[in-house]
């Protein structure tokens, strides 16, 4: 039987592994020279903009909101289709997430709905570049300017993507990235905020380490009760090794996606994601199952694919249907596209180490399962 093909897997090269061993031997494991080097390398990648790292993109998003002064009584517009962290961080600041629907194929925030949802309490909008497909940033920032809003870009999945020739993160307000193991590059766990004024960058530094700063060689001051989310040098070392390979990783993902589209052909049995343009980094390849035409449900499809040696992911349930958000008054039927995506989405394997024949293996298995399940 063929080796099981997961829906994603990180690629860590031997050079990076050796460099991690050097960090472990150095005795400096917490934030130190490697974190500074990683932030400097990311800053260079983003055209010289300030970069501050955190232990996760969740922390990055929360700290970005806090650096903007968002808190109790404020509202932040968030797409109903994203990973739940996009909304959780808003709640954790004391603000309220105001959900709007997304486009069925791009999964991008519906900006007409977003503008209609703006109230006197709205302080920010959080566009999500889901699966790495860039949102229409020209429209986002025009809307934000018209209404005096901050923009917190959830670019957790968009490292390596570009919008109209500009790298996501190289411009804009505050842009947050993830280095989780399933992302396009990893630092084991980690995130980063790109951009911000000098005062906001200072706030980001304070939020990631207890609200505390050194004010003299033998003195520290704590300005507020902050948390702890500083990246380790071990994680930063992995991130540096991965960043060297980002362009190659992105090119390989695009090759594999082109193969997927060719194999599915003109009339695929699944609803395929929007192709986007050459700036798409293809973090994920998430299609929609035609559940209304199947005798099986999604769980059974996933099990049938696993039996054929192919792993399938689910990205993501609609946020407003979770009990935490139903408790805020949200209900089924409000955001039909997000709900349909949440019900039907299946994420097919996509990672740089896949072989040229792996997409064919996935498509062949999926066609076989779907053929046998059609009503």
pLDDT at 101: 98
Q: Is the model's pLDDT at 201 over the cut of 60?
A: yes
pLDDT confidence bin for 194, thresholds 50/70/90: very high
Residue with tokens 């097919």: 348
Give tens-digit pLDDT for 123-149: 999 999 999 999 999 999 999 999 999
Q: What percent of the chain has pLDDT over 90?
A: 99
Mean pLDDT of 1-22: 94
Residue 156: both structure tokens together: 């957790």
Tell me how many degrees the CA angle 341-175-28 measures, rounded to the nearest 5.
Answer: 115
Report whether pLDDT(1) > 60: no
> Given this model, what pLDDT does residue 321 score?
98
Per-residue confidence (pLDDT) for residue 2, from 0 to 100: 73
CA–CA separation, 211 and 192 (whole Å): 18
The ranges assigned to domains in the chain are 14-243, 246-373
Q: For the domain bounded by 14-243, which CATH number is listed?
A: 3.40.640.10
Q: What is the mean pLDDT of residues 183-196?
A: 98
DSSP assignment, residue 273? P
Which pLDDT belongs to residue 282? 98
Domains 14-243 and 246-373 fall in the same CATH topology: no
Q: How confident is the model at residue 375 (pLDDT cuts 50, 70, 90)?
A: confident
The pLDDT of 325-350, averaged and rounded, is 98
Say what the pLDDT of residue 47 is. 98
d(CA 252, CA 250): 5
Q: With 70 as the cut, is the pLDDT of residue 348 above it?
A: yes
**Contact criterion met (CB below 8 Å) for 342 and 318:** yes
Looking up tokens 């925030």 gives 109
Q: What is the pLDDT of residue 285?
A: 98
CA diameter of the chain = 74
Closest CA to 352 of 1, 13, 56: 13
Tell me what pLDDT residue 150 has: 98
Mean pLDDT of 74-95: 98
Active site residues: 183
Q: How confident is the model at residue 195 (pLDDT cuts 50, 70, 90)?
A: very high
Q: What is the DSSP letter of 188?
A: S
pLDDT digits (tens, 9 = 90+) for 147-181: 999 999 999 999 999 999 999 999 999 999 999 99
| CA separation, residue 345 to residues 50, 137, 273 (Å) | 36, 25, 10
From the options 3.40.50.720, 3.90.180.10, 1.20.1260.10, 3.90.1150.10, give the CATH code of 246-373: 3.90.1150.10
pLDDT tens digits along 56-83: 999 999 999 999 999 999 999 999 999 9
Mean of pLDDT over the chain:
97
Tell me, what's the pLDDT at 39? 98
């Amino acid at each position: 039987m063929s080796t099981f093909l997961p829906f994603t897997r990180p690629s860590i090269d031997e050079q990076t592994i050796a460099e991690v061993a050097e960090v472990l031997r150095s005795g400096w494991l917490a934030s130190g020279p490697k974190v500074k080097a990683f932030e400097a390398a990311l800053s260079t990648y983003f055209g010289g903009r300030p970069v501050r790292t955190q232990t996760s993109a969740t922390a990055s998003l929360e700290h970005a909101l806090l650096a903007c002064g968002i808190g109790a009584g404020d509202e932040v517009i968030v797409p109903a289709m994203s990973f739940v962290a996009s909304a959780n961080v808003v709640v954790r600041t004391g603000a309220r997430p105001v959900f709007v629907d997304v486009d069925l194929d791009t999964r991008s925030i519906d900006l007409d709905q977003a503008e209609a949802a703006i109230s006197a309490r709205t302080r920010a909008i959080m566009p999500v570049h889901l699966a790495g497909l860039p949102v229409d940033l020209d429209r986002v920032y025009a809307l934000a300017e018209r209404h005096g809003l901050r923009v917190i870009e959830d670019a957790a999945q968009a490292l390596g993507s570009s919008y109209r020739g500009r790298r996501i993160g190289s411009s804009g307000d505050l842009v947050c990235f993830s280095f989780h193991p399933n992302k396009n590059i990893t630092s084991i766990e980690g995130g980063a905020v790109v951009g911000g004024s000098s005062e906001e960058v200072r706030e980001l530094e304070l939020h990631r380490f207890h609200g505390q700063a050194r004010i003299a060689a033998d003195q520290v001051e704590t300005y507020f009760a902050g948390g702890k989310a500083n990246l380790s040098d071990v994680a930063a070392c992995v991130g540096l090794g991965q960043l060297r390979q980002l362009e190659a990783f992105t090119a390989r993902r695009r090759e594999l996606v082109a193969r997927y589209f060719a194999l599915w052909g003109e009339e695929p049995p699944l609803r395929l994601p929007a192709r986007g343009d050459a700036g798409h980094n293809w973090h994920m390849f998430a299609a929609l199952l035609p559940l209304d035409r199947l005798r099986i449900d999604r769980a059974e499809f996933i099990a049938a694919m696993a039996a054929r040696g192919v792993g399938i992911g689910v990205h993501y349930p609609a946020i407003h249907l979770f009990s935490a958000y139903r408790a805020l008054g949200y209900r089924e039927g409000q955001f039909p596209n997000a709900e349909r995506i949440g019900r039907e989405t299946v994420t097919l394997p996509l990672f740089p180490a896949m072989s040229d024949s792996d997409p064919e293996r996935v498509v062949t298995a999926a066609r076989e399962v779907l053929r046998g399940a059609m009503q």
